Structure 1
Amino acid sequence: MDESVIGIIVAPVILFMIFVAPIWLILHYRSKKQVMQGLSDEEFCKLQELSDKAEQMADRIQTLEAILDAEAPEWRSKV
């Protein structure tokens, strides 16, 4: 192999190892650490609020469906 060909192959590998790999590893392990810590108190509160709102919406949907079943029994076949 010619020295210029080796330089073309080795230079990007060296640049990758010096610049990209360390940043990649730092970001990878930082995100892994955050996942292992779990939810913060604020995130847990927001998740609980969303869960409560979803339950309220499910109840409302059931009520609306019951009203529609009583008022217009054929509404399901139209959809």
Structure 2
Amino acid sequence: MEDILVPIVVVGILFLGLPWLIFHYVTQWKKNGGLTVEDEKLLDDMHEMARRLDDRLGTLERILDSQDPAWRPRQSVDRAREEEWRRDN
């Protein structure tokens, strides 16, 4: 009797339990896969805040450059590339 019960349980798990588990989580993933409206608004707000902070930092650097050109020790290649990127964007 025990020899028959083990294969039935294993077949039941493989052909019923495992596919149900996979389909359950695929369905949950599809249902919750996208951003909510609140998430999109928060992301937009954070992007706008980052843009404003970048503008403020650029303004401060221009003011400091005009008042004291030697306030930075020296510009590295990375810093020059960063400023070039800021001007382009």
**CA-to-aligned-CA distance 1:21-74 (integer Å, 9 cap, x gap):** 533432233213333xx4322112211211111111111111122123222435
Partner AA of 2:26 in structure 1: H
TM-score (ref. length: structure 1) = 0.55
**How many residues align structurally?**
70
Q: Which residue of 2 aligns with 1:31?
A: 29
The 4+ residue runs of structure 1 with deviation greater than 4 A are 13-21
Larger RCO (CA under 8 A, 6+ residues apart)? 1
Identity percentage of aligned residues = 24
Secondary structure class of the residue paired with 1:77: coil
- The correspondence for 1:42, drawn from 28, 38, 47, is 38
Task: Describe the SS at the equivalent of 2:45.
Answer: helix
Higher helix share: 1
1:3 aligns with: none
Aligned-residue CA RMSD (Å): 3.3
Q: Unpaired runs of 5+ in structure 1?
A: 1-6
Mapped to 1, the partners of 2:54 and 2:15 lie a distance apart of 53
Rounded to whole Å, the distance in 2 between the matches of 1:76 and 1:32 is 53
Segment drifting more, 68-77 vs 15-24: 15-24
TM-score under structure 2 length normalisation: 0.51
